[in-house]
């Protein structure tokens, strides 16, 4: 490693790139696969209006505990490493170990409460433990001189002792989570054929009277909904709606 090599944590690294892909690209893929193509996704996005676009990602996180948990762990570690490289490690260099460890626990506990509230306390515990363990790896790297406090660059010192070896293991685990596990889970969730939001059965005016139809709810309008007609492949208005027990819109990619 050259002396002038910048730290991945300071420049961005795979964690930042994957997070951007999950936030922006995966929801569009979810729309395109679930509704049947790019044209259908475009129609749905127009009907949803920009204020409702985040609902796709939010729906995926609420429906998939594993995706929500892994994303929380990656965000927790990535942001901590980034701000440490930007100067946070130097600012807290004189802080006691207890203070540093306590401050590092705030975000993992917050994410654990959120994930646990929606998916169960076991998921919350897993998020807390994994997030905190990866943050401890960052702390050890700076406290033992494996990274420079001012720049976040890695030093050329070899790991010695179980603490430094554990920190290296945490770094590898973080890279695998961000670069392999998270994208695989996100892509699987995008092409699983399940709706990211409620599937409702509504009365739809076809021009020749009302017919009952299954809709993917895109938004609310008055006393009805704006939804994607699964059979008709178009955006329609529905009234007298009831929630469908089946949220599957089409078969997943691996069964097509």
**Cβ neighbours around 195 below 10 Å, total:** 25
- Tell which wins on pLDDT, 51 or 255: 255
Domain range for residue 241?
199-255
- Could you tell me what percent of the chain has a pLDDT over 70? 85
What's the gap between Cα 138 and its chain centre? 21
Look at the chain and report how many structural domains it folds into: 2
Question: Do 145 and 229 lie in a common domain?
Answer: no
Cβ–Cβ under 8 Å, residues 153 and 6: yes
pLDDT tens digits, residue range 193-230? 999 999 999 999 877 778 999 999 998 888 889 999 99
Question: Last residue of some domain: 170, 190, 210?
Answer: 190
The answer to whether residue 1 is domain-embedded is no
Write down the pLDDT at residue 5. 38
Residue 2 lies in a domain: no
- Lowest pLDDT segment from 49-63, 89-103, 142-156, 225-239: 142-156
């Amino acid at each position: 490693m050259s002396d002038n090599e910048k730290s991945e944590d300071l420049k961005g690294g795979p964690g930042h790139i994957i997070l951007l892909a999950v936030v922006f690209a995966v929801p569009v893929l979810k729309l395109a696969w679930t509704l049947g193509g790019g044209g259908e996704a475009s129609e749905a996005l127009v009907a949803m209006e920009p204020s409702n676009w985040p609902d796709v990602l939010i729906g995926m996180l609420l429906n998939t505990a594993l995706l929500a948990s892994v994303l929380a762990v990656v965000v927790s570690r990535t942001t901590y490493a980034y701000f440490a490289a930007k100067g946070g490690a130097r600012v807290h260099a004189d802080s006691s170990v207890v203070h540093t460890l306590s401050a590092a626990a705030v975000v993992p506990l917050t994410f654990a409460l959120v994930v646990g509230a929606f998916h169960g306390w076991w998921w919350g515990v897993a998020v807390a433990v994994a997030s905190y363990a990866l943050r401890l790896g960052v702390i050890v790297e700076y406290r033992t001189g494996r990274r420079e406090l001012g720049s976040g660059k890695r030093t050329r010192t070899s790991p010695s002792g179980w603490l430094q070896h554990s920190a290296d293991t945490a770094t590898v685990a973080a890279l695998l989570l961000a670069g392999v596990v998270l994208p695989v889970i996100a892509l699987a969730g995008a092409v699983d054929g399940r709706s990211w939001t409620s599937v409702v059965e509504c009365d739809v005016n076809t021009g020749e009277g009302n017919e009952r139809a299954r809709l993917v709810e895109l938004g609310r309008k008055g006393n009805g909904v704006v939804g994607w007609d699964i059979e008709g492949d178009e955006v329609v208005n529905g009234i007298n709606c009831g929630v469908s027990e089946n949220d599957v819109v089409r078969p997943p990619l691996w069964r097509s």
